[in-house]
Structure 1
Amino acid sequence: MTPDDDAALARFRALLQIPTVSHTDEDLIEWRHFDDFLAEVVRLYPRLHDTLDREVIDGHALLYRWPGSAPAAESDPLVLMAHLDVVPVVEEEWAHPPFAAEIIGEGEDAELHARGAIDDKGSLVAILEAVEQLVASGFTPARDVYLSFGHNEETAGGGARAIVDVLRGRGIRLALVIDEGGAVVDGVVPGVSVPTAMVGVAERGVMTVLLTARENGGHASTPPAMPATVRLARAIDRLHRHPFPTRIAPPVRALFATIAPHTPQPLRWVFQNLAVTGPLLAKVFPHLGPEMNALVRTTAVATELSGAPGENVLATTARASINIRLLTGDTVESAAARVRRVVGDPQIEVEVRHGSDPSPVSPWRGEPWQRIATAVRDALGDEIVTTPYIQLGASDSRWFTAISENVYRFTPFHLTRAERDALHSHNERIRVGVWLRGIGFYRALVAAS
């Protein structure tokens, strides 16, 4: 590593050590850490702050504007997105303290362990580093460049939504938006012989459905024939045994068409002839792991359960939260109707607590897409194939579809399966060399603006 790499890594560690943990109940948030984070960003990146315009929106979200030099520079701007909040931790589950940002190992094996190392301070700090480097070199973009950093992506996403409201109020339309999303991966699709940069051209919708069963209650020593808890458990079991049907949505078809030349026969033929093979593939993929299952169907899973207040008390109300992620083509309305139909019990209340439909699909052809693919090739490697796919989780980018037709989701890090599995779990980490190369992706993308 060079001295510049060492300095970049030190700045990354400093920001990872600030525990900007978000909670759905905002009364639990320690906002002083968010204040510290914003102040530290100003201190660590002086050239950026001397050059870009900075606004704090909705309390702690950050919006930067780097004015372009060309005539009509305000047209066709680029937006680089990330978020500064992280999910909570259970410290005793971690092999290394989650906010110590310790480096474990040496050379190419060196890993930086911290909550937020990938999700999503990895991207946020890589963007800051890229812009700081370009400013220091004397570069000025031809077109405006915006940096949008939400502060509550992991919960409500209100920061990013407020930023969109500000930009829309100023009449700004965006040529290209890129947020966190798919990474550079190996072996996600069976038979693919090259690393793939998975760029989300759409993301699944998200909704929460509450299932509620009620009864009169009483002492647990004299239970009725069908207690509320049993009725609720039966409804959950029905949803589990009757999942949403499988199908191959257009972005997934594009994924297979892109990777087909890099697969051996007969798999290549299978991927190139989805009009014939698609229905069979859609049935096979759920058996190849959770990620492949989520590519071809709307998913639903019970995540929160509540019942009686005591172990010897019958529950007067038993409730389950069902988290549903909507595949492109499904809607909140159609999914809610299917849940009611599958549960099939008029004594189970089905309430949509909140929900948003899948995002519009951005094109995987044209100049904005090509800019991303070129930056991948130039910064991350000629051997990497850039391919569209459906983002499996929700991100702040969903709000930006209101002011741009070209919204993409890509995290420019080459991640192993174990590293991806640690997101929102314990032992989140990123290899130091992988993170440093990711800076180059953002630098290349801005340089082309």
Structure 2
Amino acid sequence: MHTTDPVGSARRAAASLAELVTFRTVSSRVPAEVETAEFEAFLAALPPLYPAVHAALEVERVNGLALLFRWPGTAADAGSRPAVLMAHYDVVPAGDGQAWTHPPFSGHNDGTHLWGRGTLDDKGALVAILEAAEALLAEGFVPVHDVYFSFGNNEETAGESAAAAAALLAARGVRPWLVLDEGGAVAGGAFPGVSRPAAVVGVAEKGILDVELLTRDPGGHASTPPRMGATARLARAITRIERSPFPQSLPEVTAEMLRRFGPHAPAPLRLAFANLSLLRVPMTWLFGRLGNETNAMTRTTVAVTTLEGSAGANVLAATAKANANIRIAVGDTVAGTVERLRKVIRDPKVELRVVEGNDPTPVSDFAGAQWELLEGCIAETFPEALITPYIMMGGTDSRRFTGICDAVYRFAPFAMDAADRGSIHAADEKISLETLGRGVRFYETLLRRL
């Protein structure tokens, strides 16, 4: 059952999102670089946009700039089966504004799309949640069980606010029955040969690890370079990592995804997926070679992202540094990953330092009441989509809730083609108005069924 005016609800959501995109809530690991006034202005804009939500729900600040709403349920044991809907309102830098069709913080509405940093990641989801709640409150709706909205302000960096929110709920004895955050989406063209869009729901996240590679050398004048100086030694280490990728495997979640895609894949793949138990090894090999996204589903990946050497063109580097951003596959660990890097590099003069890291999350069940609830809501809102679990490549705030909830899922109810997915953290991020409206309807459906 939807609201009586879905078009009007979508229009209001677009207007609200257009306003909220204008706030430059860019997060940074350097506190001095965070424009706190922009975050405060964003938070101050919410009550006028969603007066019913702020009147009916309890709301508190967490860790300074995050928000935690509680919508009390009507049942006598309303707190026994609470749900948490999550989003974050911080964004990554917009980069060169000249590369954007419309300015990144303009919230430009061209009648088809709303443009701007954060429209997809993740202010759009925040607006869809609040718009759904506002519309339901106007109808007099009250949930049976408690519902929490947890909105983070530093997901793009440390995620400390989400950790604080989870700790706060744990201290109050709240153990969520369901947690839903951003992550998967209704992805078009996500799997080679499958024409139907796929609603991919993250049931786990790969671990995230940053390792600094450091080499040292006496330095000196570039006119008399030594053999295997700091930069050459670092380059060799990077090349060895590149030439020795982590071994492949096919986690059960990925195998289930292939089974669900199977009936809709081209004939050769359809037959192979139907016999996955017999062909698991060759299918793992093939899946790792279909593309970068599918390859990342089969192994721990390493991307060297930053490099630093000499400060002068004619000066030998006394130190050379690189950062390896690693996404750890389910089943691997931080410790095991670092140990393997040491063996691959085979050079004790290359120092490895763990900058920050965490193991993969537990895998939430892709059967049972919580999964069936999500599956039903997705099917009602996106009847054209195949629904499947998958393992997320990136990280979300929801990983902070796995200690207090066994059913943690990652799904943004937005249709995204390859170009849309590519615009996240890049230029020309935008969301279609129709997509935003369907997102609102998804959350309305979910809140009713909870």
Q: TM-score, normalised by structure 2?
A: 0.97
Corresponding residue for 1:258?
A: 260
The aligned counterpart of 2:94 is: 89
Take 2:202 and 2:12, find their aligned partners in 1: how far apart are those partners? 32
Q: Contact 2:14–2:114 at 8 Å: present in 1 too?
A: no
Q: CA deviation at 1:93?
A: 2.0
Which structure 2 residues correspond to residues 94-133 of structure 1 after superposition, within 5 A?
94-104=100-110, 106=111, 110-133=112-135
| Distance in 2 between residues matched to 1:103 and 1:129, nearest whole Å | 18
**Which of 38, 41, 61 is the aligned partner of 2:43?**
38
Alignment of 1:53-202 (within 5 A): 53-90=58-95, 91-104=97-110, 106=111, 110-202=112-204
Q: Does 1:424 align with 2:432?
A: no
For 1:443, the equivalent position in structure 2 comes to 444
**Aligned residue type for 1:5:** A
- 3-state SS in 2 of match to 1:103: coil
Q: C-alpha distance in 1, partners of 2:198/2:10?
A: 26
The 2-side partners of 1:218 and 1:191 are apart by 56
Partner of 2:399: 398
**1:398 alignment partner, SS class:** helix
Alignment-derived partner of residue 212 in structure 1:
214
Within a 5 Å distance, the mapping from 1:339-350 to structure 2 comes to 339-350=341-352
In 1: Cα distance, 2:156 partner to 2:9 partner? 32
Code of the residue aligned with 1:267 in structure 2: it is L
Distance 1:62 1:303 in 2: 32
Matches within 5 A, 1:279-318: 279-318=281-320
The 2-side partners of 1:20 and 1:397 are apart by 20
d(CA) in 1 for partners of 2:386, 2:74? 32
> How many residue pairs end up in the alignment?
444
Q: How many angstroms apart in 2 are the aligned matches of 1:163 and 1:328?
A: 25
CA contact (8 A) 2:154 2:161 kept: yes
Q: What's the CA shift for 1:194?
A: 2.2
* Shift of residue 89, structure 1, vs aligned partner: 1.3
1:32-80 deviation digits (Å, cap 9, x = unpaired) = 0000011101121000011000010100010000000012010111110
For residue 335 of structure 1, the aligned residue among 334, 337, 341 is 337
- The amino acid across from 2:173 in the alignment is G
Question: d(CA) in 2 for partners of 1:274 and 1:190?
Answer: 17
Distance 1:415 1:347 in 2: 45
Letter in 2 for 1:65: R
Unaligned runs of 5+ in 2: 1-5
Residues in 2 aligned to 1:132 and 1:360: alpha-carbon distance in whole angstroms: 33
Q: How much does 1:264 deviate?
A: 4.2
Q: Distance in 2 between matches of 1:83 and 1:290?
A: 27
Instruction: Determine the C-alpha separation between the residues in 2 that align with 1:215 and 1:389.
Output: 45
SS in structure 2 at match of 1:270: helix
Distance in 1 (CA, whole Å) between partners of 2:125 and 2:269 is 34
- Letter paired with 1:79: V
Say which SS state the counterpart of residue 186 (structure 2) adopts. strand
Pair 1:52 & 2:52 matched: no
Q: Deviations over 1:14-41 (max 9, x none)?
A: 1111110001112100000000011101
Structure-1 separation of matches of 2:81 and 2:255: 29
Aligned equivalents of 1:249 and 1:101: distance in 2? Answer: 40
Q: CA deviation at 1:3?
A: 4.0
| CA deviation profile, 1:202-254 (whole Å, cap 9, x unmatched) | 00000011111101010111100111000000100111111111110111011
Partner Cα separation in structure 2 for residue 307 and residue 427 of structure 1:
33
In the aligned structure 2, how far is the partner of 1:332 from the partner of 1:240? 19
Aligned to 1:142, the other structure's residue is in SS state coil
Report the counterpart of residue 203 of structure 1 in structure 2.
205
What CA distance in whole angstroms lies between the structure 2 residues aligned with 1:371 and 1:4? 23
- 1:117 shift after superposition: 0.6
| Conservation of the 8 A alpha-carbon contact between 2:10 and 2:440 | no
- 1:277-329: CA deviations, max 9, x gaps? 22222222233222111111110011111111211111110000000001101
CA distance in 1, matches of 2:186, 2:175: 29
TM-score of the aligned structures, taking structure 1 as reference length: 0.97
> What CA distance in whole angstroms lies between the structure 2 residues aligned with 1:271 and 1:217?
56
Residue type at the aligned position of 2:39: F
Q: State the identity as a percent.
A: 46
Q: Please give the alpha-carbon distance, in whole angstroms, between the structure 2 residues aligned to 1:435 and 1:294.
A: 29
The one-letter code sitting in structure 2 at the alignment partner of 1:434 is T
Separation (CA, whole Å) in 1 of partners of 2:398 and 2:7: 34
